[in-house]
Amino acid sequence: MNQFVMLGCLWLGACATAFSQEQTNGVNYQLGPIPSVHKPLAENSVPMGNIQTFEEVKLDLPITSGPYEPTWRSIEANYPGTPEWLRDSKFGIWIHFGPQSAGESGDWYARKMYVEGTPAYENHLKNYGHPSEVGYKEVLRDWNPKKFNPQALVDIYRDAGARFLIIQGVHHDQFDMWDSKYQPWNSTRLGPKRDLIGEWEKAARKAGIRFELTFHHEYSWWWQTAFQSDTKGDKKGVPYDGNLTLADGKGKWLEGLDPKYFMGLI
């Protein structure tokens, strides 16, 4: 469990490197330059490796120096065995919550809403519109769980016997649930405009419950579907909004927000 938490932190550290200055809606962000991206490949055109024989690869990316290296050996050396607090706690709860809940189509809504014929695609058509015109970026903009109350939930979890919580900090959709400094697609700039992770942490510490985070960047490849189009009907061949660039947002609500930052193309 801790290995997954630490791996997510390593991914986060790898993302936050080599920055240049950019301003979005009056807020300064330290953003890295967007590299040129090759023409999208056909879906399923690249074979997947065998998980049983896959070798660990160390990315040649600069990260902040510290006690950990981006390897399993380093993580195991710093976190040997099972922590005593985990043995004592016995019972904890993992909270998997984010803007994809707005789609009411499962936790892979952001990917499957771009897959023609799936329930997520059909629900998106009904509730928002066609993904070539209204995509996941608009879901992020409009998502606002006003009744969401971390403190009330933590009190329930504690009374049920939970002694630790693991909160989803960011899912594969790259939407950060805190006041992220490395990219502007986060819950304090869009949607609820709240530091949701900060609220979870405050509630957990008040209740005397341990608090951990998970990061899910390793599945950012799932955005490949947003670069496709319908294969039939009136919108056949019309690209979905994954093809949008920073320039396409000029004069619109997302001006200054580069879609590539939340579609994992950095």
Which tens digits make up the pLDDT trace of 190-203? 999 999 999 999 99
219 located within any domain: yes
Q: At 170, is the secondary structure helix, strand, or coil?
A: strand
Give the predicted TM-score (pTM) of the model.
Answer: 0.73
Q: Specify the number of domains making up the chain.
A: 1
62 located within any domain: no
pLDDT of residue 100 exceeding 60, the answer is yes
- pLDDT value of residue 52: 80
Alpha-carbon distances of 145 from 105, 180, 190, 201, rounded to whole Å: 16, 19, 12, 18
CA-CA distance, 210 to 165, in Å (whole number)?
A: 6
217 located within any domain: yes
pLDDT digits 0-9 by tens, 140-178: 999 999 999 999 999 999 999 999 999 999 998 889 999
- pLDDT value of residue 70: 74
Q: Which domain holds residue 141?
A: 92-261
Q: Which residues contact 114 (CB under 8 A, 6 or more apart)?
A: 121, 131, 135, 136, 225, 226, 228, 240, 242
Q: What is the CATH classification number for the domain harbouring 165? A: 3.20.20.80
129 located within any domain: yes
pLDDT of residue 84 exceeding 70, the answer is yes
